[in-house]
C-alpha cells in the first residue's frame, strides 16, 4: 500500500506529461507531421559541439578513478572553481568554489535548498503563474506553498499582494526569471522593489527570509534584455542554476546552487546543503557531466533558433487575434484562452491536434502555455490550425 501523500500525487500526476503522452497517441492516429505538440519544455536545439568534445576529452584524458569515483557531496572543487570564475566574469561578483554546490539539475537544487531551510509548516511564497512542480517540492518537506495571484497586465510579480502575504512563517520566496510559463523577464525595478520589501519584512519579524532564484532559462533571453543577477540586490539570495536549457542537457541532470557568503548563517547553510544533497539520495551531481560542463562554462545553445520560433509564433498569433505578452526569454508563450475555462480551451485546441497546456497547471487559470522549443517547420504547419481555432471563437 503506497503512502497517502503519494497516492494523491500519483493520481494527479503532471498535466504536462499527460499531454506529452497524448501527443504520442495522436501521432499514432494522424501521423507525427499532423500533430502539433507544444506541451513539453524539452529543448529542440542541439547541445553546443563543445559539450561533445569536452565529454570525449574527459573520458580520454582524465583518470577513470577520478571521473567515475565518489567526491565531495558538493561536487569537484576544480569544477566549482571554474563555475564561480565564470559567474564572476559575467556578473562582476566575487564567488569562489565554497559558494557553489553542484546539483542534479535545477530540480535537485531546489529540493536540496528547500530541505536545507524548511521546518514543517514553514511558508514558501511563489508568484503565479509558476512552475507547477514547486508545489511538490515544497510539499516534499511539509512546507506550505503561498501563492501570490498573477498580475495579468504584464506578468511582473504582484508586489502589493506579496507584501501582505509575508508572515512570521515565511522562510523562502521562489522567483523564476526568465519565467516558465510566461517568458517574462522580471525587470530591475521589480527586483529592487521585491528586495526592499523582503529587507523590510526581515527587520519587522526579526527573521531570515531566503530568496531562491530559479534560473534554468537565464541564458535564453532575447532582444538584448538584461536579466538581473539577484545576489546583487538582496543578501539572502540563493541562485539555483541548471544546464538543462542553456546547454540542452536536461537528461544529464546537472546544475548548481550559488550560496553567497552574505547569506545568513552561511557556514551552516552550506554544510546543510551538502548533507541534503547526500541524504536526498543524490549523493553528488553526476560526475562525468560535471567535469564536462566545467570545460565549457561559457558555451551556450544557439539562442537565435528559439528567437526565430518566438517571432514566427508570436507575430502570427497576435495577427489571428490571440492576446499574449511578448516573451523576452525562455521558450514559452502564455496566451489568453479564448474562453474562460482554460482546460476546455486546451481540449478544443486538441481537436485541431494542437497540444497546449492549461494555465491552471501553473496557478493561472484562463491562460494556456505554448512551448516553442520545437521545429520551426512544425510551427509553420501549425499556424493554419491556430487561425482556424481563433475563427471558431469568432476572432
Phi/psi for 50 (5° steps) reads: -55, -30
How far is it, in rounded angstroms, from Cα 94 to Cα 96?
7
219 near ligand PLP, rule: CB under 6 A: no
The DSSP-derived string for 213-234 is: EEETTTT-B-TT-----GGGT-
Smallest distance from the beta carbon of 176 to ligand PLP, in angstroms? 4
**Could you give the CA distance from residue 356 to residue 313 in angstroms, rounded to a whole number?**
13
Cα end-to-end distance, the chain, whole Å: 51
Interface stretch with ligand PLP, choices 46-54, 100-108, 199-207, 335-343 (CB under 6 A): 100-108
213 binds ligand PLP (CB under 6 A): no
In whole angstroms, how close is the CB of 148 to ligand PLP at the nearest point? 16
* Closest distance of CB 107 from ligand PLP, Å: 3
Q: State the alpha helices, DSSP H only, in 236-362.
A: 243-246, 266-279, 287-295, 303-320, 342-350
C-alpha cell recorded at residue 183: 517568458
Complex with ligand PLP: residue 110 or 389, whichever CB lies closer: 110
Q: Does residue 180 interact with ligand PLP by CB under 6 A?
A: yes
Phi, psi of 130 (to 5 degrees): -140, 160
User: Could you say which residues in the range 117-176 bind ligand PLP, by CB under 6 A?
Assistant: 131, 176
Closest to ligand PLP by CB, 23 vs 255, is: 255
Site size for ligand PLP (CB under 6 A): 13
Q: Binding to ligand PLP by residue 43, rule CB under 6 A?
A: no
Nearer to ligand PLP, 41 or 75 (CB): 41
The answer to whether the CB of 360 falls within 8 A of the CB of 128 is: no
In angstroms, the CA 361 to CA 129 distance is 9
Q: C-alpha cell of 249?
A: 542537457
Output the smallest distance, CB 207 to ligand PLP, in A: 25
Q: Closest separation between CB of residue 21 and ligand PLP, Å?
A: 17
Contact predicate 100/74, CB 8 Å: yes
Which range binds ligand PLP by CB under 6 A, 67-75, 105-113, 340-348, 370-378?
105-113
The residue within the footprint of ligand PLP, chosen from 41, 47, 183, 365 (CB under 6 A), is 41
CA dihedral 170, 180, 136, 345 (to 10 degrees): 120
Residue 183, interface with ligand PLP (CB under 6 A)?
Answer: no
2-10, 53-61, 99-107, 147-155 -> range binding ligand PLP (CB under 6 A): 99-107
Measure Cα distances from 39 to 36, 43, 110, 369, 370 in Å.
Answer: 9, 12, 23, 8, 7
Integer Rg of the chain from CA = 21
Q: Is 255 in the site for ligand PLP (CB under 6 A)?
A: yes
State the DSSP code for 373: -
**Binding to ligand PLP by residue 252, rule CB under 6 A?**
no
Q: Does 248 bind ligand PLP (CB under 6 A)?
A: no
CB 284 within 8 A of CB 352: no
User: Cβ closer to ligand PLP: 131 or 372?
Assistant: 131
Q: Which residue is nearest to ligand PLP (CB)?
A: 105
The minimum distance between CB 253 and ligand PLP, in angstroms, equals 7
Strand partners, 237: 211
Task: Measure Cα distances from 303 to 223, 299, 306, 378 in Å.
Answer: 11, 11, 5, 18
105 binds ligand PLP (CB under 6 A): yes
Smallest gap from residue 121 Cβ to ligand PLP (A): 24
Q: What is the smallest separation between the CB atom of 115 and ligand PLP, expressed in angstroms?
A: 15
Residues near ligand PLP (CB under 6 A): 41, 105-107, 131, 176, 180, 214, 216, 242, 244, 250, 255
Amino acid at each position: 500500500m503506497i503512502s497517502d501523500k503519494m497516492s494523491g500525487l500519483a493520481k494527479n500526476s503532471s498535466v504536462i506529461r499527460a499531454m506529452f503522452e497524448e501527443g504520442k497517441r495522436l501521432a499514432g492516429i494522424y501521423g507525427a507531421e499532423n500533430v502539433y505538440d507544444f506541451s513539453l519544455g524539452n529543448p529542440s536545439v542541439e547541445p553546443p559541439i563543445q559539450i561533445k568534445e569536452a565529454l570525449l576529452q574527459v573520458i580520454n584524458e582524465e583518470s577513470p578513478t577520478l571521473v567515475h569515483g565518489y567526491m565531495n557531496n558538493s561536487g569537484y572543487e576544480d569544477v566549482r572553481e571554474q563555475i564561480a570564475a565564470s559567474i564572476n566574469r559575467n556578473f562582476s561578483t566575487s564567488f569562489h568554489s565554497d559558494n557553489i554546490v553542484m546539483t542534479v539539475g535545477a530540480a535537485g537544487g531546489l529540493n536540496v535548498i528547500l530541505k536545507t531551510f524548511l521546518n514543517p509548516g514553514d511558508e514558501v511564497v511563489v508568484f503565479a503563474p509558476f512552475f507547477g512542480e514547486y508545489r511538490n517540492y515544497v510539499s516534499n518537506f511539509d512546507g506550505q506553498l503561498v501563492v501570490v495571484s498573477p498580475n495579468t497586465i504584464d506578468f511582473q510579480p504582484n508586489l502589493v499582494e506579496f507584501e501582505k502575504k509575508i508572515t512570521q512563517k515565511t522562510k523562502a520566496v521562489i522567483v523564476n526569471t526568465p519565467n516558465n510559463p510566461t517568458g517574462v523577464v522580471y525587470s530591475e525595478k521589480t527586483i529592487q522593489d521585491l528586495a526592499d520589501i523582503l529587507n523590510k519584512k526581515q527587520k519587522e519579524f526579526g527573521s531570515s527570509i531566503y530568496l531562491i532564484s530559479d534560473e534554468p532559462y537565464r541564458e535564453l533571453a532575447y532582444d538584448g534584455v538584461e536579466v538581473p543577477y539577484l545576489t546583487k540586490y538582496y543578501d539572502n539570495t540563493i541562485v539555483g542554476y541548471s544546464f538543462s536549457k542553456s546547454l540542452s542537457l536536461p537528461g544529464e541532470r546537472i546544475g548548481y546552487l550559488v550560496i553567497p557568503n552574505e547569506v545568513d548563517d552561511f557556514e551552516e547553510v552550506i554544510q546543510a546543503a551538502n548533507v541534503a544533497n547526500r541524504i536526498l539520495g543524490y549523493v553528488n551531481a553526476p560526475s562525468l557531466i560535471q567535469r564536462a560542463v566545467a570545460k565549457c562554462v561559457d558555451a551556450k545553445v544557439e539562442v537565435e533558433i528559439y528567437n526565430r520560433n518566438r517571432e514566427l509564433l508570436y507575430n502570427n498569433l497576435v495577427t489571428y487575434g490571440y492576446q499574449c505578452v511578448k516573451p523576452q526569454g525562455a521558450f514559452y508563450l502564455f496566451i489568453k484562452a479564448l474562453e474562460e475555462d482554460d482546460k476546455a480551451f486546451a481540449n478544443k485546441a486538441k481537436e485541431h491536434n494542437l497540444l497546449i497546456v492549461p494555465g491552471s497547471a501553473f496557478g493561472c487559470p484562463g491562460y494556456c502555455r505554448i512551448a516553442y522549443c520545437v521545429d520551426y517547420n512544425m510551427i509553420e504547419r501549425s499556424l493554419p490550425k491556430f487561425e482556424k481555432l481563433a475563427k471558431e471563437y469568432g476572432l
